[in-house]
Amino acid sequence: MPYDMITVERVRHLLSRERQVVEKNMMGSLCFMVGGNMCCAVKHAALMVRVGQEAHQRMLTLPHVRPMTIGSRCPRGFVWVEPEGLQTDAALAAWIQRGLDFIATLPQGKPAARAKRPAVSRK
């Protein structure tokens, strides 16, 4: 499994008060979309948080934080927090809040498409 279910459940609990939360498997991780915008993701027991370009460098100075990389690219605005930085509920909540605070500055994203159900024949 590409993500730690204990970490996933902790994130789900913290996001349970939010509206329009959708989980998507993306980039080998479980991403949490809030209001149509990516907020965070869990891969193994690490947490990816969308912090925005302005906060990116500052976040990288914090303990247990590393840049997000996709191949040879390093997209600004996203960071990974290692499990050591998420050990307490307060630490995880602070990181989730950073993601929520950033996406609150964005226009609402496209709503997630609902899965189509097969037509049911009624005879």
CB neighbourhood size of 63 (10 A):
8
Q: For 83-92, what is each residue's pLDDT tens digit?
A: 999 999 999 9
Mean pLDDT by 10 residues, the chain (123 residues): 90 95 92 96 97 96 93 88 98 98 87 46 44
3-state secondary structure of 53: helix
Q: Categorise residue 90: left if φ over 0, alpha if ψ from -120 to 50, beta otherwise.
A: alpha
Amino acid (1-letter code) at residue 23: E
CATH of 5-103, one of 3.90.1150.30, 3.40.50.150, 3.30.420.110, 3.30.465.10: 3.90.1150.30
pTM: predicted TM-score of the whole model, two decimal places = 0.85
C-alpha closest to that of 77 among 51, 57, 58: 51
pLDDT at 100: 98
Boundaries of every domain in the chain: 5-103
3-state secondary structure of 71: coil
DSSP letter (8 states) at residue 86: G
Dist CA 114 CA 76 (whole Å): 30
